[in-house]
Structure 1
């Protein structure tokens, strides 16, 4: 799935342009919040888009400077004493990530339940909305990356700035934001505009915002939006000034213990955030593709090495830009790469024009994205799936992330999800038996009485390594509970994965509440007495089973 294709190039370029418009202020804002030169954020965004986009195993995720690293960068700058020494720690962090990729540490993403991932996405949507409303009304006291800051008096900045914005409303910014929102909604709702696939609504919304503010400027209107509420891209006056914005690591400090502590901290946090984003992006993928997370860790490692070598800050795969990519119609990695190319061209060619973009217009774009991530339909969907096993961990994850931070919130949500699962489900070994006969080339998968999200990784690996041109029977006759994650995995395999490998799937014994339609026929397999166990590792490593009748049996002691 890592091969390039031009099949969706029009929608990918269009999506890349939208992601560029979203990424530009984020790159600048996160750099500002991290206490580093603004150009460092742009470097990270360009390399995250182009280099990581090429090397990544994901077709849809977008990499760049991440809000989750800002506190670490700020603290590291104080501890290490200079930006150049910090860049050395960033290079070492990239090397550590590269090693983690070769050690196949990316497998941990398979054990993240969907209710926690859905909760993370909804929480990010809520944070986007709360953080962009102040921009939409012309109040810019908070920079991207400071969402989770709590001051000495215990005030959560996300909410305090939101409340303060009411007292600092700028009519011109509100007018620009409403006009941009009207354009975006029109491109979603109006049939004629919906058919125009070649022009992204976000681009028109931004151009409308620029035009309105230029009219305010030309007429001397009091509604004019000042420079402090416009995009602020560095504008070098000469080639020397441009190259003077690059910084380089101080390798003389490589024996400094503090450098290595910072490096391991960045590598750990950046890797976890990347794996969370990859799992979320795969869940949003309309084509239901799976990303090789080990390849992703390697790509992130290479990206961070190069970024920090030339003065950029560390990056991760980031959910705001990734969701913007998916919601804008991106289908392949060309979208992420093109967004990096647009960032590069903007820095070199049109910084003056970009500095005319009102933040209120960009806020409108992000408000639409945030609403899609946290729409009421998402909450209704999780409620209907399972009030206990799905909805409660989902809501807990949302509240925890909004009130704390991304990693802590996901950790709390995961703990709650595991608690509910362990109450009703206990996982034993996963057994494979392979028959030596070849009649029918039929593979039988008999599900256990209790199937939890803990079984997802093994079932996913089985689906991935099933031989082509076979019949597969998935038998749920003996089950009393199947986790939503596993049900969705089976649905995706039936609708997408099986078709790519020409596998005929028969579903048997699924109860009505599983919301999976059983097949009308049942292919029966016969196992020989001399069948022998085959470990999941052997299957994962490509054990040959095309001429076998395979019984995949998962047992539970509950």
Structure 2
């Protein structure tokens, strides 16, 4: 249920997310090879449908840049956008089933260091991708998070291309916008209630529109070209607006290629959603925990609706979610508001939206990117030790040079290596004592949980036991000992007489009672 108690915070935040979301929806649709309006449809669904079902208070859903390559290839291979929509519908059904099967818990198995790295990596990506738009170079589409670009360029080469195509008017607009955003956030928001109700991003958007109108009327050489502005499809009538919606073609829904595509979309969209859900909860100032299984159900329903009316696949998206949080959103009314605003404005005033300079939106996103990747975050994680810092920094680098899911996978691999290393090292404690008779006695105390990964380490410890020593193998603190380790110890026990080693086993009382019972039987 929606709550209107925080309307004064949620409406301005929803407005900011709306301003950020429109060009992202259009850019992702363009990158996906789909009709531009398909991105707008998914933005509406993510805001209106998903937010009503979701249990996430701050998450914002919409078309995902991470799926753009999959969608582009799928539409090309299927040869029809309508057939592709049937796969989106089926993917939603699969996600709904995953929610009922409680598959949402997968997201809880990602380490905090990797989640923090994901947030910082997205922040770095936002900065790198928005700088060209801030300078007036708009060859790369909005919402692109991949390192390699469709035109053969990459994230860094685009920055060099940017320097050859600087637009003075875009630089003026983005520069003034950044100045206002920083001033609003650091100074004016603390001066009076009016500056809290009216958000800085809205001011810079209005400023951008006003400056471009000024340039058009008095300095035409500075006027922004159409590719420097939002480009929402404009319908000439109400009927034309609804004609932009597309119905799916279910004639091939049971074919292998459609079913395989649906499964791929469901898995990738669910994983991206769960990761963003975890990251959003980390950013939540109230530290609320969102129900993951309910989120999968919400996304499933959203994708079913998207498939039925012509939208792109929907996921929870960290860029919009973080913009929501940093704009002061407190409940899911903000996400719902952004969806309603997309619907109303696309229906009534698309021409006004098409007056918004991308340079103004770039300034807004640059501030969002900075807040996600603040230097203070890097210092904080570094002080936590290398076990936290290395997966964190590797995740950031991998996301910048590949894409979101690949980068997280690489970061997870590094985190798992640390886990394996620690598991290997903390398998046991070996210490030496003297018996009353003056004989050497060694105590091998096994850890609470000993797996096959500890086999090599324990084997090295047993080899250190000298001839003629007494050895106590202590199971008393162990809740689980893997069969491979037990077998290793049994083999050592059988051959201990050859080195004149005396072995005593110390076990928990429960284990001793079980052994006694088995003997008596």
* Residues 1:151 and 1:193: Cα distance change in structure 2 (over 3 Å): closer
Would you say 1:157 and 2:148 are equivalent positions? no
Would you say 1:42 and 2:45 are equivalent positions? no
The farther-off stretch of 138-147 and 309-318 is 138-147
What is the aligned partner in structure 2 of residue 285 from structure 1? 284
Structure-1 separation of matches of 2:25 and 2:147: 19
- Verify the 8 A CA contact 2:25 2:143 in the aligned structure 1: no
What is the aligned partner in structure 1 of residue 176 from structure 2? 179
Query: 1:339-359: per-residue Cα shift (whole Å, max 9, x none)?
Result: 001101110111111111000
- Verify the 8 A CA contact 2:140 2:149 in the aligned structure 1: no
What is the aligned partner in structure 2 of residue 190 from structure 1? 187
Shift of 1:182: 1.3
Structure-1 separation of matches of 2:5 and 2:384: 35
- Verify the 8 A CA contact 1:146 1:157 in the aligned structure 2: no
Structure-1 separation of matches of 2:98 and 2:169: 50
Structure-2 separation of matches of 1:337 and 1:152: 33
Query: 1:255-299: per-residue Cα shift (whole Å, max 9, x none)?
Result: 221111110010010000000000000000000010110000000
Shift of 1:425: 3.7
The farther-off stretch of 342-351 and 143-152 is 143-152
Shift of 1:8: 1.6
Query: 1:4-54: per-residue Cα shift (whole Å, max 9, x none)?
Result: 433322101110000001101000100011011111000000010011001
Q: What is the aligned counterpart of 2:101 among 79, 99, 103?
A: 103
What is the aligned partner in structure 2 of residue 333 from structure 1? 332
Shift of 1:152: 9.6
What is the aligned partner in structure 2 of residue 453 from structure 1? none
Structure-2 separation of matches of 1:110 and 1:242: 42
- Verify the 8 A CA contact 2:99 2:293 in the aligned structure 1: yes
1:9-408 equivalences in 2 (<5 Å): 9-148=7-146, 150=148, 157-191=154-188, 195=192, 196-386=195-385, 388-408=386-406
- Verify the 8 A CA contact 2:134 2:359 in the aligned structure 1: yes
Structure-1 separation of matches of 2:235 and 2:422: 62
- Verify the 8 A CA contact 2:105 2:293 in the aligned structure 1: yes
- Verify the 8 A CA contact 1:61 1:322 in the aligned structure 2: yes
Structure-1 separation of matches of 2:406 and 2:72: 19
Query: 1:317-339: per-residue Cα shift (whole Å, max 9, x none)?
Result: 00000000011111110010000
Structure-1 separation of matches of 2:285 and 2:257: 44
Structure-2 separation of matches of 1:267 and 1:315: 10
Shift of 1:449: 8.5
Q: Give the structure-1-normalised TM-score.
A: 0.74
* Residues 1:229 and 1:422: Cα distance change in structure 2 (over 3 Å): same
Query: 1:348-397: per-residue Cα shift (whole Å, max 9, x none)?
Result: 111111111000000000000000001111101101122x1111110000
What is the aligned partner in structure 1 of residue 503 from structure 2? none
* Residues 1:150 and 1:223: Cα distance change in structure 2 (over 3 Å): same
Shift of 1:238: 1.6
Shift of 1:144: 2.7
* Residues 1:257 and 1:418: Cα distance change in structure 2 (over 3 Å): same
Structure-2 separation of matches of 1:48 and 1:214: 32
RMSD: 2.1
Shift of 1:149: 5.0
Shift of 1:240: 2.5
Structure-2 separation of matches of 1:151 and 1:238: 36
Shift of 1:170: 0.5
* Residues 1:347 and 1:100: Cα distance change in structure 2 (over 3 Å): same
Structure-2 separation of matches of 1:101 and 1:422: 31
What is the aligned partner in structure 2 of residue 467 from structure 1? none
Shift of 1:57: 1.3
Q: Give the structure-2-normalised TM-score.
A: 0.80
Would you say 1:420 and 2:406 are equivalent positions? no
Shift of 1:191: 4.1
